[in-house]
Structure 1
Amino acid sequence: QVAMGKISSALVLLMMVMSCMADTEERAQIVALKTILNNLVVKGKDITVQYDLYNVGSKAARNLQLEEEGFPSDYFELKAGLLRARWASLPAGANVSHSVVLTPLQSVVFNVSQATVRYRASEDSRGFTVGQTSGFGEVVIYDTAAYDRQFSAHATEWLTFGLMSLPSIAIPMALWYKSHRKYAALATRKLD
């Protein structure tokens, strides 16, 4: 049992050394973040989606490609930006941002998936390294009427309330003013 423990300890140590050696390999490594900059997503109102790509590796990433297929034209209209972007190189320790502006066409619960990132990890690599951005999961696209009902200033409602409450304030004020004037006039006559 002691020999078995030494063998398993040696295997664990060997795996740790191999892992460290793999991590010290000089290559590019891209970390991709996808962010919706709006707090609420509303049908008919523009939303901004930002992609941040960070090269945390020790070499420049070559032929970097970002492909977004998570916003189909049945549900979103592209207003600005590109859903497919390319960069020739991203140096080690650098980052790049890319934004698109979309307009939701329907009010649904929509599953926002990840975008795909492809790049060459080093100058001599033959194939592409493929990764994904972070994803959101389900995003609620609010209907315009529901959004206005909850978040608008309700100016029309307040104006209507003011006009409807005006008689209950103005009539007692007018009666008080009329009697005040009458009795103030009587008081000044008695003093004379």
Structure 2
Amino acid sequence: MIGQIDRGALPLLGCRAAGVHLNGLVRRDDALFLWVAHRAADKRLDPGKLDHLAAGGLCAGLTAAEALVKEAGEEAGIQPELLRDATEVATIRYAMDRPEGLRRDTLYCYDLVLPEDFIPQPVDGEVAFFELMPLETVFRIVRDTRDVKFNVNLVLIDLFLREGMFAPDAACLLREALDTE
């Protein structure tokens, strides 16, 4: 029989975990915008940092697509019908020593182009508020600050690569770095 371990204990044990991350995109006048969550100040991990529109761990028994529906509804009030257009765009694996232990995670990454009039609503208290930012602004924040939650940067770099926001040589080096474990 296979047992289950609380997700919070996985880094302490060095066990691999999995999660979903949703890039909430809005296209306006030939520009791309991204919905960014501002994490609640009372979050245990990375309080107050910038995060995805929705993200969370894969609970036992859920597929990545099911976890996406669960997290998007709980965190941003996104209805399942809207998520039918979400596209799985990447799977990122990383290992990182963090204060809570060794993070060995697999991230299932999705893009969702949202209607211009969509406004996410914080539902479960994990997000203080959402902000729609030009993707260029998010790029500069990732490049120049430490304001973004530790693993969200990886998913955003993948988005920046796909959007051609790096010089070709830099893009090759970054893609190689993201493809390694």
Which structure is higher in RCO with an 8 Å CA cutoff and minimum separation 6?
A: 2
With structure 1 as the length reference, what TM-score do the two structures score? 0.25
